[in-house]
Amino acid sequence: MPDIPEQGQPGQPGPYGDPHGWGPHGWGPPGWGPHGWAPPPPPPKPGVIPLAPLGADHVLGGAFATMRRYAKPLFGTAAAAYGLLTVVMTGALLAAYAATREDSRAMYEPGATFSWEHGRPLLMAFGAVWALVLLASLAVNSFIQAACAATLHEAVLGRPTTFRAIWRRAWSRTPTVAAVTVPLAVILLLPVAAFALLLVAFFVTLLTDSAAPFGLIFLLCLLVLPLAAWLYVLFAFAPAAAVLESAGPLTALRRSAHLVRGAWWRTFGISLLAGIIVLIVSLAFRLPLQFAAPEPPAVHPDSDTSEVLFSQLRSQFGLYALLGMIGTLLTQLLATVFLPLVTALLYIDRRIRGEGLARTLAEASRP
């Protein structure tokens, strides 16, 4: 991307000797004016953030401002991608059911017992559906991350953009973003796998009266959790680098590690704060729905089982289900868009601080 140079292309020395384009006290020199000592002028702000080292308020505020000013291309792209994913999932499930309809009937008819003759086609068909949905989800999430970075590029420069332009730019970088997303997903699965092993060790301890497996797995969890957090933050900037620098997968991972060096705790803290904001918004939607949920019908000893089941299902649908679906969709869109924007802004902040990107962006934003 021409407006954000790649590694090895830092900003030119500024007019006051600083290689980042800064004076000794800020953007430009302080000095004596007609009314006495004049403070340094504020940094330029052509878009959603000032072109200066960013504080946590600038990062979070810039993410919210981007979502507000570029809502159509940003949320339109995310909604279209999730709509396409829903179509793929539905089509795959219907195709799997159509291909194994006879086996399903043979397995679930009254008095039927499990047999590999009918179970194998079901496992193969729905295993293929699971693999397809997994790959499609990876592609969709990578596409949305690329769209967020592409939109933020225009938002920082204060330039308008369109749904088509963002779609085209994001689509061209989706394979690379997917390639760097896979190791990030593996890193996130490490603590999940360790926790699953911890549960297995707990049940083994209960059955065998031996605490050795549980103790070893617990120590493993204590090691895996901080290691996974450190690795994830270390490579968190890779999707942004893949889009904004048009970097390859390995180059993007190396760039992320280079930029995070010396700012791990700051990156972790602001990212954690963004996650807490998403959690609070999610709870603000879900808690009122939980309190407003209709009570299930009372069950009596002489009640018919099918009637009770139908009444319980009916009590969970209607307006309550519709509001719950809308709330889940909105919070999912917020998390999917807000968190990548925060990460991309942290990436830009690191380049402003270490590579003089502010001056380059200021020159690129001029008409």
Residue 129 domain-assigned (yes or no): yes
Beta pairing class for 31-33 and 36-38: antiparallel
Residue 26 domain-assigned (yes or no): no
Q: What is the pLDDT of residue 321?
A: 63
Residue 9 domain-assigned (yes or no): no
Residue 234 domain-assigned (yes or no): yes
Task: Give the Cα separation of 100 and 123 in Å (integer).
Answer: 10
Residue 27 domain-assigned (yes or no): no
Distances (CA, A) of 343 to 33, 63, 149: 40, 9, 9
Residue 120 has, within 13 A of its CA and on its CB side, a CA count of: 3
Q: What is the pLDDT of residue 163?
A: 92
Which residues, 6+ apart, have CB-to-CB distance to 158 below 8 Å?
Answer: 46, 47, 48, 365
Q: What is the pLDDT of residue 107?
A: 63
Residue 151 domain-assigned (yes or no): yes
Q: What is the pLDDT of residue 210?
A: 63
Q: What is the pLDDT of residue 123?
A: 81
Overall number of domains in the chain: 1
Task: Give the Cα separation of 367 and 356 in Å (integer).
Answer: 21
- Helices 319-355 and 116-157 meet at what angle, rounded to 10? 50
pLDDT of the chain, 367 residues: tens digit per residue: 444 655 444 444 333 234 344 443 345 555 555 555 556 678 888 989 999 999 999 999 999 999 999 999 999 999 999 989 989 988 988 888 888 777 677 666 665 555 666 677 778 888 888 899 899 999 999 999 999 999 999 999 999 999 999 999 999 999 999 999 999 999 988 888 888 887 777 777 766 666 656 677 778 888 888 999 999 999 999 999 999 998 999 999 999 999 999 999 999 999 999 999 999 988 887 777 666 655 555 555 555 555 555 555 555 555 566 666 777 777 888 889 999 999 999 999 999 998 888 888 888 877 7
Other CB atoms within 10 Å distance of the CB of residue 241: 31
Residue 301 domain-assigned (yes or no): yes
Task: Give the Cα separation of 110 and 102 in Å (integer).
Answer: 14
- DSSP 8-class letter at 300: -
Residue 35 domain-assigned (yes or no): no
Give φ, ψ of 26 to 5 degrees: 150, -155
Domain range for 144:
46-364
Instruction: Report the largest interatomic distance among the alpha carbons of the chain, rounded to a whole angstrom.
Output: 96
Query: Which of helix, strand or coil describes residue 278?
Result: helix
Q: What is the pLDDT of residue 126?
A: 82
